[in-house]
């Protein structure tokens, strides 16, 4: 990429130089085609040739005229001399002007060249600066990209580590919960066994104490709510639902009272102040 960029720059540079050269040439040509101060100095000699014509009669006149002419001529020569001097002065002045103009032009060209040179140098400097800037920018960009990439990788790494950690913690938690549940299950099985035993003990004692009235209908059923206190002493028996006779109902209440104190459980958790009994003959 850098190569390609520099290639482009080089081409632009060459183009710029070429344009400048062409421009300089053009300016030079237009300067040399301008009229020179020498050509301007010849023009007054052509006017002198036109005043040549002579006649006898006219000699005197002529002579006079000639003398006048001579005089004229002298005046004229003097005028011409004056004029020539004037012209020469003017030409000198012109030349000087021209010279000044040339010098100014030259100065201007030099200045332009210098300016161009300066500009070129400036442009080069700028180009250089731009290149440097570009390089800097690119470098910066590259740096940024590099940093971004590094950051991205870091983030990925962090995320990976975090995920790993989370997964580990999760599995740990799961394992702990599984162990807890297993422990609970064991405890519950134990409790269930104890409960079964407890229930069996109570049942046995109540059945042993249940004296049913004669002629109890096999379809009868009586539910009682028994209130006991720790130690198993029966405090109260309430019949909650009973389909049998009064005698049957009474026998059920009595059975619970007679079984008092009820057996107590091995585990306190199993003890409940209220127990429901369902009596069926």
Partner 1 sequence: MIKKIQKLILLWVAIATVTLSSELQARLNIEITGGVEGGLPVAIVPFAWEGDGKAPEQIGAIVKNDLARSGQFAPLDSDKMVGSPSTGKLIDFSLWRQTGIDNIVVGRIQQQGQDQFVIQFQLFDIHRAVQLSGYSIPTNGALLRQTAHQISDLIYEKLTGVKGAFTTRIIYVMVDSAEQARSYRLAVADSDGFNEQVILSSKEPLMSPSWSPDGKRVAYVSFEAGHSQIFVQRLADGRRDVVANYSGLNSAPSWSPDGKQLALTLSKDGNAEIYILTLESQKLVRVTRSYAIDTEATWNPDGKSIVFTSDRNGKPQLYRVAIVRGAAKGRAQRLTFEGRYNARAAFSPDGKQLAMIHLDQGGYRIAVMELKSGNLQVLTDTTLDESPSFSANGSMIIYATELGGRGVLSAVSSDGRAHQRLQMNEGEVREPAWSPYLQ
Using CB under 8 A, which residues numbered 43 to 72 contact partner 1?
none
Residue 207 touches partner 1, criterion: CB under 8 A:
yes
Between 91 and 251, CB nearer to partner 1: 251
Between 91 and 232, CB nearer to partner 1: 232
| Cβ contact 251:206 at 8 Å | no
Q: How far apart (Å, rounded) are the C-alpha atoms in residues 61 and 63?
A: 5
Which listed range, 12-20, 84-92, 151-159, 205-213, lies at the site for partner 1 (CB under 8 A)? 205-213
Query: Quick one: how far is CA 281 from the chain centroid?
Result: 86
Q: How far apart (Å, rounded) are the C-alpha atoms in residues 168 and 162?
A: 10
Q: How far apart (Å, rounded) are the C-alpha atoms in residues 89 and 101?
A: 17
Pairing of strands 222-228, 234-242: antiparallel
Among 69, 90, 108, 250, interactor with partner 1 by CB under 8 A: 250
Using CB under 8 A, which residues numbered 11 to 40 contact partner 1?
none
User: From the CB of 243, what's the least distance to partner 1, in Å?
Assistant: 13
- Coil, helix or strand for 55? coil
Residue 102 touches partner 1, criterion: CB under 8 A:
no
Using CB under 8 A, which residues numbered 213 to 242 contact partner 1?
213-216, 234, 236
Among 260, 263, 264, 266, interactor with partner 1 by CB under 8 A: 260
| Cβ contact 37:102 at 8 Å | no
Look up residue 10 and give its two tokens: 């080089």
Q: How far apart (Å, rounded) are the C-alpha atoms in residues 272 and 277?
A: 13
User: Could you give the C-alpha distances from 149 to 1, 146, 158, in angstroms and in order?
Assistant: 20, 5, 14
Which listed range, 102-110, 111-119, 139-147, 179-187, lies at the site for partner 1 (CB under 8 A)? 179-187
Which listed range, 41-49, 53-61, 104-112, 273-281, lies at the site for partner 1 (CB under 8 A)? 273-281
Positions that interact with partner 1 (CB under 8 A): 174, 177, 181, 184-185, 188, 191-192, 195, 199, 202-203, 206-207, 210-216, 234, 236, 245-247, 249-255, 257-258, 260, 269-270, 272, 274-281
């Amino acid at each position: 990429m850098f190569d390609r960029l520099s290639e482009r720059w080089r081409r632009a540079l060459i183009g710029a130089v070429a344009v400048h050269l062409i421009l300089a040439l053009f300016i030079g040509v237009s300067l040399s085609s301008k009229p020179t101060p020498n050509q301007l100095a010849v023009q007054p000699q052509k006017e002198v040739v036109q005043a040549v014509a002579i006649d006898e009669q006219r000699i005197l006149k002529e002579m006079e005229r000639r003398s006048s002419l001579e005089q004229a001529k002298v005046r004229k020569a003097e005028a011409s001399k004056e004029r020539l001097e004037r012209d020469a002065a003017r030409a000198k002045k012109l030349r000087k002007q021209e010279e000044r103009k040339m010098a100014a032009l030259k100065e201007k060209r030099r200045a332009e060249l210098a300016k161009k040179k300066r500009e070129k140098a400036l442009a080069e400097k700028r180009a250089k600066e731009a290149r440097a800037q570009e390089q800097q920018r690119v470098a910066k960009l590259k740096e940024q990209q590099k940093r971004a990439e590094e950051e991205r990788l870091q983030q990925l790494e962090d995320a990976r580590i975090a995920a790993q950690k989370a997964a580990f913690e999760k599995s740990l938690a799961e394992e702990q919960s599984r162990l807890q549940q297993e422990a609970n299950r064991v405890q519950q099985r134990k409790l269930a066994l104890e409960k079964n035993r407890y229930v069996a003990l109570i049942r046995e004692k109540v059945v042993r104490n249940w004296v049913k009235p004669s002629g109890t209908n096999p379809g009868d059923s009586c539910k009682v709510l028994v209130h006991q206190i720790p130690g198993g002493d029966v405090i109260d028996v309430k019949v909650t639902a009973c389909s049998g006779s009064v005698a049957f109902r009474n026998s059920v209440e009595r059975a619970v009272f007679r079984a008092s104190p009820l057996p107590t459980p091995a585990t306190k958790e199993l003890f409940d102040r209220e127990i429901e009994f369902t009596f069926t003959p």
